[in-house]
Structures are given as structure tokens and as C-alpha cells.
Structure 1
């Protein structure tokens, strides 16, 4: 085991206001090494491939940071047995590089894959160019915001995956009670998701729709998976409540009003009530969420204006040479890549967007892409601090970009939806990468990593992912056909549809305006806009389990508070234990997602549905799904409260 001290939720840092890092700023250990880079690059390609497949199959990707950290710990454990060893900060570099592939995959499959719906082939070189330019923008634009979001807003923005990843690495490094806790959470989640998705023993998604009087279409439900419950526990009841509140407004207010008023898409007119609710959400409510996110994004930028101005001021000083050594004079844990590199890199990328013919965005598209990327990098970096990377609504930001870009481009006579789609692709990739980068930097902040080295690792990971992304996308299109039953790529299809819709004048501008007005009302009420906007945009099946996890956190905290002493030691201990178990839940589901994806890719088991389905009836699966979530909550609670007060804080 390497040297290093435990970090607790209540221990102040030497600088004040934040936790003490696991590795103190004054201590230097191996971090960005060749060993870490090689392992990180290998895992990067694996996660990139798995997430591109899963994302096109299900419409969602998985956060790779935690599974990468767990896999990396296993590799380093084997290396230690061989006498080679590795440090916790090397482990952190591995997960940083690995997660870059997952983040870039989300942006690519949600947007670039949409060209196939427009009867265009996959351009391997063009995909690589857009991916690397958008990914680098995401990393560069996140750098000036790091201190504000990661350090200054430490208490407000928990960054659930980033915090959980730090807990995972610390638990593995210390090898004590924390390892047992995370292993327990991992095993429970792994088995849970294998039974649900590998064998179809029960349903994780439980939802229903009903009528009240003359009003039809009230809908409620949840996709009760361990990872979503774990995310809710980590972010806590307050933020989880905001997300759930947005979901209730969408599914228990707006959708019933639209269905009762006859605004049901023709394709779902004769469908069951829950299918009608889903169709209305897809056709109208997403636009409401996108409108709210546009206003919320601008408001977030305005709220961060002081930080952004200070960061840009520092950049200009460095460009003039008056602060060339300022970064190097800071503590190790405060050193970012030079601001002049951020400015110079952004300028070069903007030029490349216009000059590289395969990118196809033109001068106006390139300008829109850079400005929108800057806006939504800030939005994404903030949002993942609230709801986590797995729930980061990258597609919503892409929709907002498509709306803006299509309007601007249409006014200049552009009528090619591919140009609009490529412009949105740059922004979607930048937003996805920025969300991942901020989670990784949060992990590094808690562990005592050097931000500059993490940022370099992220750039290396982005470059490799971009080189492979086009080939992988081409392979899946040739093997299965993007848009087929095997990989329907729902997000990409929606982006292509909206791009054409705006250019042809069929977009839902009224719904966008409603969302924008709703966001303005929330701002006037001093209520956080973006969590509510996320709740409106995401399916209620995601908001509900996150809220359940938040309620679980509140219940455990209240129970422990009754037994606690005056200094709050017991409460801090329970919080730490719960966070580690939640990290295990997230890890187990993520790794099982990769396992299921590998089974599909290799053709093992059934070609559709669960690979090894038990053949249970639907009603039986539903009942067992209810039993499973109750059992999951019981096991989680028991693991957190068991021996609390008798073991050292993990």
C-alpha cells in the first residue's frame, strides 16, 4: 500500500472550505506514467466500442470512470503481485483516459450516426475530424471553469460519479472495510442486472398511466436499477427532488393536458395510454425541456461570468507574457494547462472547423459550433455535478444547437440537414467530453491529483478515441445497419428528424417557448433551473429512481442522527459508508452493461431481448421487479447501518 491519508466529508483542507486531498499537495508520487497511459489507452478502446454499441441499442451510454477504476485496480493489483506496483494517482490517470472513450462515444452516436437516417454514408475521416475537434473543445473550455465548479462549488455540486470514483480508488488503496463495502455493492448490482437484463427474470422498468375524471394521460414509473438509486443517494434528496419535480411537471401536468387536448401524434392515436404519454413526451415535451435548458444554460453562464472573466483575464495576461510562470508557482494540486494554450487551441480548432472539408460546417456553422460549445460545456459541467454523467442530457444540448444552427443557416440559404447535424455534433461531443472531464477532475481534486496531468491524459484519450470512432461506427453500420431493430439508434434518428424539421419549418417552436418561459419563472423564484430542466427532458423513469435514492439518503441520515453524538461522527461515518456502497452499485451495473454488450456483439445467446431469457410471463416479471427493488433497498440500508459506529470511517 502506498502512503496517503483518508479523506472525510467533514475534514477541512489546508486552504479552507474543502476536503483535505488523499495525497497532500506537498507530496509527489507517480501519476502520468507510461504504464498508466498504456493501460488507459487499451481500456479506452474497449469502453468506446461497448458504449457506441450500447448507446445505439438503448439510447443511453454508461459512465466508464468507475468501472475503469475497478478494472485498473485489478490490473495494478496483479502488477504489485509481480513486483511492479502502481499508485492511486496512476489509477486515476487510467480511469481518466478510459472514460474519454465513453464520453466521446455518446456525442458521436447521438449525432454523427444520424447521417445514415439522411441516406448518407459514414465518413470515417470526417467522423474522426469532428470527434477530435469537438472533444478538444470540451477539454479546453472546461479548464477555465475547473476552479469555480470543482473547488469553489464543492459542497453544492457533488459530482456523483467523480466522488464515487474517488471512494472506489481510496477503498481499493487502503484495502480495509471500504473494500468489503464496495465489493458488496458491486456483487449485489452485478447479480441484480444479470437477472434483469441477462436472464429477464424481472423487469427493472415499472410504469403506468391513468386517467382522473376527464383528464387522461397521467404517467408515473421508474427504471429501478442499482446505478440510478446509487446516483440519487450520492447527490442527496434536495437535488434529486429538483430533478423529480421537473419530471412531475412533465408527466403529471403537461402530458395529461396535451393528451386530453388531443395533441397525440397520429402514430400513437390508437395505442395504450402509456404509449400515448411516451409519444407526447417524445414529440412535444422534449422541446419544452430543451427550451428550459437553453435559458438555464445562458443563466448559468451569466452566474459564472465573474469566474469566466477572471479566467479570460488570466489568459490574456499569459499571452502578454506577464503571467507566464503563474501556473507553475501554484501548488501541484492547482496547476492547470496554461490559459494561453486554451485560447490558442480554441482559435486553431475554430479555424480547423472551417478549413477541414470533411467537417462540412462552413464559416457560420463553425462560429455557431464554437460559441454553442462554450455555452454547453458550462451547462454540461454543471449538470453532471448535479445528476451525474450517465444522466447528462447531451442529446438535449444537441437539440438546442440544432434549433439555433438550423435557424441561422436557413437564413443564409443553407438547406442541407447534414451541415446542421455536423454543427450539432461538435457541440454534443464537446458537452459530453466536458461532463466527463469535470467528473474526472472532481475525482482528482478529492485524491490530490495534478489537474494538468489529468487534462493531458484526457487529450491523449480523446485523440485515440477519435481515430477509432469512425471505424467502429462504420463497422456497426455495415454489420447491423444503423436504424435496424438490433441498433435502432433512437437519439441519432431524432437528431436527423429535427434537423430536417427545422429546415422545412415543422419544428415545435411553441413548446420551446413554453420551456423558456418556465425557466424564466424558476429564475425569478430563485429555484435552480437546470435540475428542473433535466427532469422535464429526461423520461420520468430516470427521475423517479434518482429521487428514490435521495429519499433513501434522507431516511438513513435521519435515522443515524437520532443515535449520533454531538460532534456528528456517526453521521459522517454513515454518509461515507453509504457513498462507497452506492459506488459499488454504480460499478456493478456499468460492468454488467459491458458484459451484456459483449454478448450481443459476439452473438452469444439470443439475438434480441435478454441473451438467456427464462421465458417468464410479463406479469410475473413485473411482480418480481417490485420484489427486487425492495430487496435492493433493504440490502443497501443494512450494509450502510451494519456496524456503523464500530468500524473506522472508510
Structure 2
């Protein structure tokens, strides 16, 4: 954890351009594009990945079109760009719940902008006091921040000295071209699959064996983006997500069918006295779907325990980090301001405190308006504002610390949001009760708070990663913090439009009217938040399956502690398995394949010199990020077409096996290009 810190690329005594007009405009543009891409992939699979590395590669490639672009300017661009990708995670994990529970009749623009803006700004403000403690003193790893710095150093060296080699001069162009090619490949696949209907989006089957006693259902979703997600999160997480899918589908569905046959027949719209021999394939699929809908609550229970365990396990190191940060600020007060180098100049604490105090006004207004005509809305709005300030700072600190330990892509943002939903719902139930208007307004207030805290925590983790990158390249912290806010503002203004388009084109949480029921975006976290909030307020929840999830989580925690004591690299984070249980098995299969590819590449890199291994790692991350970004942006474009033209996407001309063959070729391309020594 305590890694030695090398000197920054740009020393504190040097002054290079950081904030420029072209950097500002490029940062805003990339923030919007990456927000759109992450919205699609997050709603599809319930997982998001850090966009700092592709943002850095895109910045390096585009800024080379201008003269005198600096490494610090590129760093500012990726800082603003990655903010959009992170902020959208906080929104898509929560806000769709309001539409799914019919509290909203669509994705309301100004309420969403307000939630995203306030939550994002507070996420930046809450983590500014933690920068020195977690990055300088605790020296946490911050893997994405370090990797992004390596990309910037590789591509930005010609801005620091003359006499750069030809390979150094070509590095930014090669990285940018690689990113564009893989994005084009991912986008082309999505266009052929969804836009033109050349092949199906997946391969699936449902079979009944042993006279209908054993019900098997399985499949694979054909998606280059999910291959990319698996590649980025790595084999450990990919295996656990797949294991969760196996538990929920291959084990849970047949067991549920054996134990609850009559209830499942009823849920599938069939007569309980129906003879199994006469069931059609479509009816068996309906039974399997009903069984799986029940089993996914095992994932809900595991997420609840996993989220709470994340907080408990972080209590001691988090308290130490906050204490170290306060000591650092106290020591600064006793020293002359000019004694601090440029690379340690954070936003002044007085400004941070003022921003937090100013945010209290829109915070209160958000909750007050959300409670509409509820009798005690003045009191409830005040209570929720207080909870946001207290829990928001706590969970933002947790997210910042976890980003340092496991990275932004593996950061359990869902866990802290689940803890928020449970804590705030229990508090509100004790005050409001479960009867009458409280049963409706209580869950709404809980989801509003969850959206604000999830947005804050997501930005907090991203802010710390970016500040780590800035610390390594020699950026000025207060300028990065300012650009983080710029990225938040840019993304906040377009996220409601993106979600409205995706809902019209695919459907979020349910198929769009007249749309393909096999292609809607499941929004798993939002569905979970809705189930928890409404369940605690007495609207029904599958507690038996949730209790099984509790037991599963406890077993995983024990396994993880054993692995930790052994010093093993393979761990058992609960939330990865829980997400796998909650998602359809078909989504976890390509994620698993991507993780296997990443492991094969990592093993090949063991025999390489350190610089070649680093370059190979960066190539793989760029290619995987390109596949994600390309497919996701094409998905958004197709949703725009459906929303404005009104023509649904065509059915598949051929079966899924042709798409499977194409996906295997993309896997081969990812593997071989990553291992190549050039730009592929």
C-alpha cells in the first residue's frame, strides 16, 4: 500500500500551461461522450469502468493537432472527461428507480440536473481535504491514476524536452489510432447486430430434463463491450461475476423450480395442474424467467451485507485518513502560504467550506420539491439535507479510500448506496410510518438521497484517481479540482437527455413501448434500490431469497478473510458475486471471457522487460476501452434513431451463431493486437 513516490514529471518550480480554452472545450466534449457511453454500458450490465485512460489517449491524439500542447494540459482534459463517466454512474444506479416506481413519468430534466450537479460538486468538495492524507501521506495505490499517468508520460514527453525519439513522437498518435480503431470495431458490431439486424444479440436456451424435474436455462449475450468490461476489471472480478451468474441461474433456477413448482406455474401464467409433458418451449422459458426473477433477490441480500461490510472494514483506515488530513490542514495554517509548492496547492479550505454551505440551499430545495404536498415536508426536507451532508461526506471518504485500494472500476459504489437506502429508509419509517402518503413519499425521498450520495461517492473516487495522476505528472491540485467541477457541470446538463433517449430507444428497467423485450437495458442497481426502498416501507419484498443472500455473503466474507490472511492475490469481494447473481447469466459470460483474455495477456507479459510490459498493459486497456466506448456510443445513436424516427430496430435475419463467430474474431483481435509491439 505504501508505494514510494517518484518525483513529478513537471517539478513544482516549472510552470507549464494547464488551463487553456482548447483544453476546456475538449474536456467538455469528452465528458459528454464518455457520459453517454457509460450510461449505456452501466444500464446494460450494472457495472461501469474508469474512462481516464481512454480520455487521456483521446486527449493526446487530439491536442497534437495544436502547437505547444503540454502534459499538464492533457491531464486537465482527462480530469474533466473522466468526471462525466463517473457522474453518470451515480445517476443510472438510482434515478431510473423513480421512473420504475412511477414516481416520475419520464426522465425529468431539471430535477436530474440539480441532483447530478449538487451531488457531483459535493463529491469534489468532500474529497479535497483528503487529497494530502490519502495520496501524499498514506500513499495508496490508485491503480487507474497511476496507469493514466503512464499514458500521459508516454505520449507527452515531447512537450518536456527537445530531442524526443521517433517512437516517443509517434506514441500519442499510435495510442489514439488504436483507440479509434477498436471503437470503430465495437460500433460496427453494434450497428450490424442491432441497427441492421444482421445477427441476433445473443444465444440462449431453456431445456427441461428428467421429465421436467430439472430446468436448465443459459445463454450468452454477444457484446464486444462486455468483453472489454471483463478485460478491464480482470480475471478475479470476472470469475466472481460469472460465479454469481452460475449461482443465480444454473443452481438457483432449477432448485427454485423443484421447491416452488406451483408458485412458479402461477407466476408464469399457467394452470397449477398443467401437465409438464405438454408444455411448449415458450412456456418453459416463462417458468425459467419467473424462477430467475425470484432467485435474483439472493443477489439483493448479498449486496446488502456486502455494502455494510465494506463500511465496517473501512472504519479504522478511514478514520486514520481523515485524522491525517486534518493534521495536514492544521500544519498549513501555521506556515507561510508561499512556502507551499505549486504541486501542493489545493483549493483553499475556506472556499471548500463556502461551497458546501451554499449547496445546502439547493439540497433543501430538491427534497422540499420532491415531497410535493406531503404534510410534514419542511421537516423531512431538513432531515434529508442533514443526512446528505453527514452520510455524503462519510461515503465520499469511503469511495475515495477504496479508489486508492482497488481502483475506480472495482469501487463498490453500489455498496455505499445500498447502505444509504437501508439507513435512510429505516430512519424515515420510524418518523413517517408506513401508512397512507408515507408509504409513497418515503421511498421517493430515499431514492433522491441515494442519487445524491451515489453521485457524490462516484465523483469522489474519480477525483482522487485524477489527483493521484496529477500528483505524478506535476499538476496543480486546485486547477484539477476546478476542472473536475467543469466535467461535472458538462455531464449534468446532458445526462437527462441521454437517459431519455435510451429509454425511448430500448427501455430502461422494462422494454420500451413496441420495443424488443430482449434488448431493453435492465438497470440492475436501480431495480435493487427500488425493491429495497419500497420493501422497507412495507410494499413487499422477497425476504426468503434475501436471507439466502445474507448467508452467501457471510460465506464469501469468510473466504475473503482466509485469502487475505494467506496473502493470496485472488480475493472474494461480495459485491462482485452479488452483481453476478442479480444479472442475467448471459451478461456474465462475455465478462468472464474478457477476464480470461486479460489473464492470458498478463501471463505473457511476465517475461517482458518492465517498459514493454507497461506498454502492453496500456495497449490492452486502450483496446478494451475502445470496444466499450464504440459499442456504447453506437447504442446511443441507434436509440436516437428509434426515438426520433419512430422505427423499431429490425429483427435478426440470422441466428446468434453468426454473431458468436464475429465476437470470437474480435476477441482474437484484442488478444493479438495487445501482444503486438507496434500499434497493431
TMscore range, shorter length:
0.7 to 0.9
Specify the SS of the correspondent of 1:251.
Answer: helix
Relative distance call for 1:368 and 1:106 in structure 2 (3 A) is same
Specify the SS of the correspondent of 2:458.
Answer: helix
Name 1:29's counterpart in structure 2. 16
Residue 550 (structure 1) aligned with residue 599 (structure 2):
no
Relative distance call for 1:316 and 1:171 in structure 2 (3 A) is closer
Residue 637 (structure 1) aligned with residue 671 (structure 2):
yes
| Mean Cα deviation higher: 544-553 or 43-52 | 43-52
Kept after mapping to 2: 8 A contact 1:59/1:489:
no
Kept after mapping to 2: 8 A contact 1:393/1:538:
no
Name 1:41's counterpart in structure 2. 28
Name 1:463's counterpart in structure 2. 489
Kept after mapping to 1: 8 A contact 2:28/2:81:
yes
Residue 293 (structure 1) aligned with residue 287 (structure 2):
no
> Residue 616 of structure 1 is aligned with which of 653, 657, 663?
653
Residue 364 (structure 1) aligned with residue 383 (structure 2):
yes
Kept after mapping to 1: 8 A contact 2:186/2:225:
no
Q: Between Structure 1 and Structure 2, whose CA radius of gyration is higher?
A: 2
Kept after mapping to 2: 8 A contact 1:158/1:235:
no
Residue 601 (structure 1) aligned with residue 637 (structure 2):
no
Specify the SS of the correspondent of 1:176.
Answer: helix
Relative distance call for 1:627 and 1:602 in structure 2 (3 A) is closer
Specify the SS of the correspondent of 2:251.
Answer: helix
> Residue 401 of structure 1 is aligned with which of 414, 417, 420?
420
Relative distance call for 1:406 and 1:155 in structure 2 (3 A) is closer
> Residue 94 of structure 1 is aligned with which of 77, 81, 95?
77
Name 1:183's counterpart in structure 2. 177
**Structure 2 CA distance, aligned partners of 1:250 and 1:338?**
50
Relative distance call for 1:556 and 1:124 in structure 2 (3 A) is closer
Relative distance call for 1:299 and 1:476 in structure 2 (3 A) is closer
**Structure 1 CA distance, aligned partners of 2:37 and 2:545?**
35
Q: CA deviation at 1:33?
A: 3.2
Relative distance call for 1:502 and 1:642 in structure 2 (3 A) is same
1:410-431 deviation digits (Å, cap 9, x = unpaired)? 2222331322322222123223
Specify the SS of the correspondent of 2:94.
Answer: helix
Specify the SS of the correspondent of 1:111.
Answer: coil
Kept after mapping to 2: 8 A contact 1:231/1:387:
no
Q: CA deviation at 1:207?
A: 4.4
Specify the SS of the correspondent of 1:585.
Answer: helix
Relative distance call for 1:136 and 1:334 in structure 2 (3 A) is same
1:367-405 deviation digits (Å, cap 9, x = unpaired)? 444454445545655777799767877667545533443
Q: CA deviation at 1:480?
A: 11
**Structure 2 CA distance, aligned partners of 1:359 and 1:324?**
45
Q: CA deviation at 1:597?
A: 1.9
Q: CA deviation at 1:362?
A: 1.8
Kept after mapping to 1: 8 A contact 2:133/2:321:
no
Name 1:506's counterpart in structure 2. 540
**Structure 2 CA distance, aligned partners of 1:479 and 1:249?**
32
**Structure 1 CA distance, aligned partners of 2:487 and 2:117?**
10
Kept after mapping to 1: 8 A contact 2:220/2:587:
yes
Relative distance call for 1:146 and 1:280 in structure 2 (3 A) is farther
Relative distance call for 1:176 and 1:42 in structure 2 (3 A) is closer
**Structure 2 CA distance, aligned partners of 1:208 and 1:327?**
67
Kept after mapping to 2: 8 A contact 1:133/1:349:
yes
**Structure 2 CA distance, aligned partners of 1:574 and 1:233?**
16
1:31-75 deviation digits (Å, cap 9, x = unpaired)? 233432233234434555676678779977786545544543444
In the comparison of the two structures, how many residue pairs are matched? 615
Relative distance call for 1:207 and 1:147 in structure 2 (3 A) is farther
Name 1:111's counterpart in structure 2. 94
**Structure 2 CA distance, aligned partners of 1:22 and 1:420?**
45
Name 1:9's counterpart in structure 2. none
Q: CA deviation at 1:590?
A: 0.5
**Structure 1 CA distance, aligned partners of 2:489 and 2:350?**
21
**Structure 1 CA distance, aligned partners of 2:173 and 2:74?**
16
Specify the SS of the correspondent of 2:16.
Answer: coil
1:416-474 deviation digits (Å, cap 9, x = unpaired)? 13223222221232233334434544544554544443222112322344455567778
Specify the SS of the correspondent of 2:65.
Answer: helix
Specify the SS of the correspondent of 1:79.
Answer: coil
**Structure 2 CA distance, aligned partners of 1:279 and 1:456?**
49
Q: CA deviation at 1:506?
A: 0.2
Unaligned runs of 5+ in 2: 157-167, 271-281, 372-379, 433-437, 562-571
Relative distance call for 1:608 and 1:264 in structure 2 (3 A) is farther
Kept after mapping to 1: 8 A contact 2:51/2:625:
no
Kept after mapping to 1: 8 A contact 2:56/2:74:
yes
**Structure 1 CA distance, aligned partners of 2:584 and 2:393?**
26
**Structure 1 CA distance, aligned partners of 2:58 and 2:507?**
31
Name 1:437's counterpart in structure 2. 463
Unaligned runs of 5+ in 1: 1-11
